[in-house]
Amino acid sequence: MAQPLMTTETDAAPARSGPRPPGRPGLPARMWRERSAYVFLMPGMLIFSVFTLAALIFAVYLTFHRWSIIEPDKPFVGLTNYRDMIHDERFVESVLNTIYFSGASVPLSMATGLLLALLLNLPLRLRGLFRAAFYLPVITPFVVSAILWKWLYNGDYGLFNYYLLQAHLIDEPLLWLSDKNLAMPAVVLMSVWAGAGFSMVVYLAGLQAIPRELYEAARIDGAGPWQRLRYVTIPSLRPTTLFLLVMGIISSLQVFTQIFVMTNGGPVNKTTTMVYYMYLWAFKYFDMGYASTLAFALFLMLLVFTALQLRLARRGSAV
């Protein structure tokens, strides 16, 4: 006859003694316990709610209305603004102009900033002075820079035409900002001048964070300056390059000041960008509903470009 299984004290479940520990307090209880922190956060939360969250919700509301700021009637139009935007040829042209500006200005600014950073990372005399000089356009108000470059581009007395004529590179003055083929490149050149200093400073920080041991190992292996740049410096600056690329595209897609000051979107809409076109509908045609629709289209572009860049960066880091 089989004997019943016997359990020992070690096999039995330990007996609980004392009262059961209380559960974790809920969210309301934790919020009440930390109520003093919310008092300090309240001013910032209030400002964010009024000037950001409420404004965003109201902007969405505007996209479904024909909202004129000078007419009392503001009818509900549903998705008409979105349908009009899709079939708006000037909007499509503004998108292409914005992409053209971004595709030209961002790589040039980054390449110029990297070149300046490589030069100014060398043990040169007056290196600090040169760094400050190249960074000066970044802290100069954009309106001031745009007015200065508009004077340089002037077809009658601008310095660019003067020196080009003196060097016999051109036979007659160029209408930089009035020629449909030269206006956007002129704006791009000004933007590169104004933004290269920021790229230079960020790249300098990235260069100084690269361990010296990597360069010493490359020298021992017989790598020359070009090989060290290609196989050590450039790969080590990948996170810095990604940061500058994302920030540069976000900034360039919102270009407005230099367009407003230098060209007013001309000639023949060749420099009309998305933000400037949005400005025209808001403050020239006074249709805030359609302008808000254009703003959400710009937001969607920024979201898509940023997500795509981050995805490509993660894929590149995984390889």
The domains found in the chain, sorted by start residue, are 89-318 (1.10.3720.10)
pLDDT tens digit sequence for 145-186: 999 999 999 988 899 999 999 999 999 999 999 999 999 999
pLDDT tens digit sequence for 208-256: 999 999 989 989 888 888 999 999 999 999 999 999 998 999 999 999 9
Task: Give the pLDDT of residue 1.
Answer: 44
Task: Give the pLDDT of residue 206.
Answer: 94
In the predicted structure, residue 314 carries a pLDDT above the cut 80: no
Contact yes or no for 263/187 (Cβ under 8 A): yes
| Pairs from 94-98 (Cβ < 8 Å, separation ≥ 24) | 94/269, 94/272, 94/273, 94/274, 94/276, 94/277, 95/274, 95/301, 97/184, 97/269, 97/270, 97/271, 97/272, 97/273, 98/252, 98/253, 98/255, 98/273, 98/274, 98/275
Secondary structure of the chain as H, E, C letters = CCCCCCCCCCCCCCCCCCCCCCCCCCHHHHHHHCHHHHHHHHHHHHHHHHHHHHHHHHHHHHCCECCECCCCCCCECCCHHHHHHHCCHHHHHHHHHHHHHHHHHHHHHHHHHHHHHHHHCCCCCCHHHHHHHHHHHHHCCHHHHHHHHHHHCCCCCCHHHHHHHHCCCCCCCCCCCCCCCCHHHHHHHHHHHHHHHHHHHHHHHHHHCCCHHHHHHHHHCCCCHHHHHHHHHHHHCHHHHHHHHHHHHHHHCCCCHHHHHHHCCCCCCCCCCHHHHHHHHHHCCCEHHHHHHHHHHHHHHHHHHHHHHHHHHHHHHHC
Task: Give the pLDDT of residue 200.
Answer: 96
